[in-house]
Structure 1
């Protein structure tokens, strides 16, 4: 495997462990993350020695989500007052590129188990929604945070979570942008099980991956392909719709206010403009 900037990848006994490493605080998803993620999962899909994947974060947290300061330059042209077709089209392509990065996890031919500790926010929730199975430590916290920063979540949570947690729970999390703990996450089906700490959840993920890897690999891949066939068309259609919606309507005074408030470390004052 390549030397990665935002990940480490280790393979042993037919199981690959993919670990988010930043370089932003809390493994925030910066440019290296979006560039490397699809490359890594394409390699794992093509590697016959890999039969299952464990996806986790380094340090105390899984990921703080999208690294807004790192992508501010991408947002600047489309937030300009005179932004018309060209910057909006560029922004549409950027959204779809980021969507494709996360979709590479769902499209991986090998089952992916997410082992989550600490914070899992925004884009990180998009990421674990693309995994096959989610396990958490007791200190894990989850937030579909985008509404608080004047963004319609557009990388996959709104498309994939209905089949995981159901419409009612998803709408509550999306509309309120509230934080939930591991106990609530288990109760609504976001995670399969909760373990006492990070060491325990990683051990459980490794054990589950080993159990999967002991089964006939082509049969396991066939099961995943059949399951994805059931949901893939709706997810694909939903991702295209939200990317088009955001390219048209995401630029707003409220989004500018949200970004400004983050940099000034204050509460935003939204006006609906």
Structure 2
């Protein structure tokens, strides 16, 4: 993405806000779905915002946070499902499956834009960070949490193989054993457990303290020689970038082929009807 030009001439976004000051940019998720859920605007705007920050020479570090009580509830199913109806049909043929593959890769690229920006990204998480929210913070360089933060790689509970980067990026952050536990169970973990397994660097008393700590760390980073900091990030990324890219391509192909299922339909219906799903493995 380095050297690319952002395609957002107005500089205005619906799903997030961007503020700058003292060589630090702050990106705040706004929704508009409940709990900053990730709908069509988010997936379109996130890479534009980070491309803009990547090419801004005045920005040396980025703080990423959520508005309100929660970081993000993850994918906004209600907003995204109507456009996916043709893809998820059990009798979908090659063309809709290929189009769904392209859609998955486009969404993956949105999250990857965060990982590939040359400026260090610090995620400040409070409240719930679910599914796509975990994908997003996994793409950040450093994660801080408030004591009330809760994390969940929850896709398995809605009959989806997580495909936006958690399964690829978290192994080098928390280790294979912890990642497999979270991915297979879909369980929720609190901030204390997240710190214990290395998902977050530090835990702070509340949202304001977490955000202040992230801003302070970003200022410390911004005070260092910017090209050297960016070089350190580039060198560190070489260790995992190719493996992550290969894993993202594989899971995109897997889900384009196998995501349509009885269990996925059951998960969606249970979600809409606010009941527990009954999975059949079909």
The question of 1:199 aligning with 2:208 is answered yes
Residue 153 of structure 2 contacts residue 187 of structure 2 at CA under 8 Å; is this kept in 1?
Answer: yes
Residue 22 of structure 2 is matched in structure 1 by 13
Any conservation in 2 of the 1:52–1:213 contact (CA below 8 Å)? yes
**TM superposition shift of 1:80:** 1.9
CA distance in 1, matches of 2:131, 2:85: 20
Q: Superposed, which structure 2 residues align to 1:1-273 within 5 Å?
A: 2-273=11-282
Q: What does residue 6 of structure 2 align with?
A: none
For residues 115 and 237 of structure 2, the distance between their equivalents in structure 1, rounded to whole angstroms, comes to: 8
Give 3-state SS (helix, strand or coil) of 1:200's partner.
helix
User: What stretches of structure 1 move > 3 A for 4+ residues in a row?
Assistant: none
Gaps of 5+ in 2: 1-9
Provide the rounded CA distance (Å) in 2 between the counterparts of 1:79 and 1:42. 31
Aligned mates of 1:93, 1:272 — CA distance in 2: 26
| Length, aligned pairs only | 273
- Counterpart of 1:266 in 2: which secondary structure? coil
Query: For structure 1, which runs of at least 5 residues remain unmatched after alignment?
Result: none
Following superposition, the deviation at residue 113 of structure 1 comes to 0.0
Preserved CA contact (<8 Å) 1:74 1:91 = no
Give the whole-Å Cα distance in 2 for the aligned partners of 1:82 and 1:245: 16
Counterpart Cα distance in 2 of 1:73 and 1:21:
22
Alpha carbons 1:113, 1:135 under 8 Å: kept: yes
Return the alpha-carbon distance in structure 2 between the equivalents of residues 32 and 123 of structure 1: 14
Superposition CA RMSD, Å:
0.7
